[in-house]
Amino acid sequence: MTATKTGELTALARQLRVDSVRAAAAAGSGHPTSSMSAADLMAVLLAHHLRYDFERPEHPGNDRFILSKGHASPLLYSAYKAAGAINETELLTYRRLGSRLEGHPTPRRLPWVEVATGSLGQGLPVGVGMALSGKRLERIGYRVWVLCGDSELTEGSVWEAAEHAGCEHLDNLTAIVDVNRLGQRGPTRHGWDLDAYARRFQAFGWHTIKVDGHDVDDIDRAYAEARSTLGQPTAILARTVKGKGVESVQNREGLHGKPLPDAEEAIEELGGVHDVRVEVQSPPAARMLHAVRSGHLELPRFETGDKVATRDAYGQALAALGTARDDVVALDGEVSDSTRSEFFAKEHPERFFECYIAEQQMVAAAVGLAARGWVPYASTFAAFFTRAYDFIRMASISGADINLAGSHAGVAIGADGPSQMGLEDLAMFRAVHDSTVLYPCDANQTAHLVAAMAEQRGVSYLRTSRGEMPVLYGPGEEFPVGGSKVLRMSDADRLTVVAAGVTVHEALAASRLLEREGIPVRVIDLYSVKPVDRRTLRTAAERTGCLLTVEDHRPEGGLGDAVMDAFVDGAPVPRVVRLAVRTMPGSAAPEEQLHAEGIDAESIAAAVRLLVEQAVVR
């Protein structure tokens, strides 16, 4: 059918409800009532407004649809079935082992899903990233439709998105809010007070439309109005009923996330099972996603011995990468003068996105841009990526290829104090599935790693430092991800010092001190914290018997723990001693901070001497 008439739209919506009930019943779990409230909204969108080629999900002209209320996945999958993308049999595999139809939709498994949802308040910020791509970069007329729940509007990230979209005049973005009045545990703050939501969106510069979310004609007019609104994003606030259509469950508390008590009866009440199909409009012809010009990469070159901050090298390398590759974009959280992403911004302003102090929106925009084929680099202080950890975690579920650079790592920043020090970032990023975690100690190494990140899959993280450090490596040196550098070694080494970033320089200084005392030590620069260079670490362990790890990070989850990744398969484990940041630092000069935490050259040398005296080492 081509659902053009009220009756046909209503029949389609009814079928989406029936199929939602069936999927959840087959699974024995899921959120049918949250699906039923939004069925009319979905039916009208699918039949009249979405332009999408299900056979070509990669079509550049396709509209983008994000189910921000990801728990309403039965509705999404029922829509896929109505559009002919999946069949009846697959629908009923919902939530089973091996099924593509997960409890919350994920793009790795289903080609029509733009981004993983299920942590609330993330769909709109990611949608902003896609809308920015459409408007500023691709310049294709696709629209981004985001179906939100009312409960999730309490998440601050939604208002970061509202602010960004409003100020950027993203009129290609529509938020559809399914105001069904009931959250998981009970009523929302505002119930059916659509005006409460309208006031908030309007204050952030949005056009708003209030509708009866079960009146298909009303909905139809609202979508048309959203499409024709210029200069502003639109929020459609739809009054709906949770569990709509089934008397025994509708508008009742205590039924969130549960299959209907009597599915068969409910299906009958909803009109029974029919094979209602919908013809989704095709997108207009569009150029393939930005023809990427990949030119010759001229990385910045630094002279060994010069003093350069790795954050400076980051900025310069990123600018160079942007010159070589048209698909590289950069984002920053209002600290580009500190992270040095300003170097990129100056050379490639059209591909730079200022996100102001809104780290959640920044990472979400990176995810949205990555979903559209861009290679994003987003930067802020290492400490402030903690603000976006949920988005980073969800990005890995999406399988998004994003690059994040955290500056001002560790106590080495000096006087600004602990609020500005990234001291948990390695732990946070190491725990992300399939992540890459890099921590360079010099400018040439940084430049090469910035370039390497563009080739990595998943979430990649680069940790940079505030202060200047001597350039150790020549510009021609290679730094493979998963590698390390042995900076000092001899057959007589009594132990191995494993360091990264600022502590590499301290470890080298300690080794020179110790050398003079007749205590040779091996020094490894473990710039690839994840994956870790197992072979080099194991060789060092075999030869020297003891590893002393030194890191400008908390003792948990950082470099010391990363070193252990080389020894968790039952192989012999060396003795290990760990130096890390164990107090709550205050303000002090960088060198005072390193000394106070026992991670400077003097402290490393003292630790080695103690181990020698105690005969822990050979």
Residue 105 Cβ, how far from a second copy at the closest point, in Å?
9
Q: Is 292 helix (H, G, I), strand (E, B) or coil?
A: coil
Placement of tokens 């490596």 in the chain? 473
Q: Which helix (H) or strand (E) holds 498?
A: strand 496-499
497's enclosing H/E stretch is strand 496-499
Please tell me whether residue 526 binds a second copy under the rule CB under 8 A: no
Q: Name the helix (H) or strand (E) containing 470.
A: strand 468-470
Instruction: Please list every residue from 50 through 79 that binds a second copy, using CB under 8 A.
Output: 70
Nearest residue to 510 (alpha-carbon basis) of 410, 582, 586, 611: 611
Stretch that binds a second copy, among 49-57, 112-120, 227-235, 459-467 (CB under 8 A): 112-120
In the residue annotation, 163 being an active-site residue is answered as: no
- Min dist. Cβ of residue 457 to a second copy (A): 12
Stretch that binds a second copy, among 54-62, 118-126, 209-217, 267-275 (CB under 8 A): 118-126
Binding to a second copy, residues 11-30 (CB under 8 A): 27, 29-30
Q: Which of the following is catalytic: 102, 168, 359, 506?
A: 359
Q: Per rule CB under 8 A, is residue 486 in the interface with a second copy?
A: no
Spacing of C-alpha 610 from chain mean position: 44
DSSP calls for 338-394: HHSTHHHHHH-GGGEEE--S-HHHHHHHHHHHHHTT-EEEEEEEGGGGGGGHHHHHH
Least Å distance, CB 15 to a second copy, is: 23
Residue 49 beta carbon to a second copy: minimum distance, rounded to whole angstroms: 27
Which of the ranges 2-10, 11-19, 212-220, 573-581 carries the binding residues for a second copy, by CB under 8 A?
Answer: 573-581
334 lines the binding site for a second copy (CB under 8 A)? yes
- Max Cα–Cα distance, the chain, nearest Å: 90
Chosen residue from 89, 185, 293, 295 binding a second copy by CB under 8 A: 185
Q: What is the 3-state secondary structure (H, E, C) of 221-274?
A: HHHHHHHHCCCCCEEEEEECCCCCCCCCCCCCCCCCCCCCCCHHHHHHHCCCCC
- 207 contacts a second copy (rule: CB under 8 A): no
Which positions from 220 through 259 interact with a second copy, judged by CB under 8 A?
254
| By the rule CB under 8 A, 140 interacts with a second copy | no
- Binders in 373-392 for a second copy, by CB under 8 A: 383-384, 386-387, 389-390, 392
Q: Which is nearer to a second copy, 588 or 606 (CB)?
A: 588
The number of beta carbons lying within 10 Å of the beta carbon of residue 258 is: 15
Residue 163 binds a second copy, judged by CB under 8 A: yes
Q: Collapsing DSSP states into helix, strand and coil, what is residue 307?
A: strand
Nearest distance in Å: CB 40, a second copy: 24
Q: Taking the complex as a whole, how short is the minimal distance between the CB of residue 579 and a second copy, in angstroms?
A: 10
Q: Is 123 in the site for a second copy (CB under 8 A)?
A: no
**Calpha distance 499→494 (Å, rounded):** 16
Binding to a second copy (CB under 8 A): which residues in 349-378?
A: 356-358, 360-361
8-state DSSP, 134: I
Q: Distance (Å, rounded) from C-alpha 73 to C-alpha 81? A: 12
Rounded to a whole number of angstroms, the minimum distance from the CB of residue 565 to a second copy is 8
Q: Is 111 in the site for a second copy (CB under 8 A)?
A: no
What is the C-alpha separation between 458 and 453, in angstroms, rounded?
10
Joined tokens for residue 184:
């998981």
Interface residues for a second copy in 415-444 (CB under 8 A)? 415-420, 423-424, 427-428, 430-434
Q: What is the size of the binding site for a second copy (CB under 8 A)? A: 119
Q: Which residues are catalytic?
A: 359
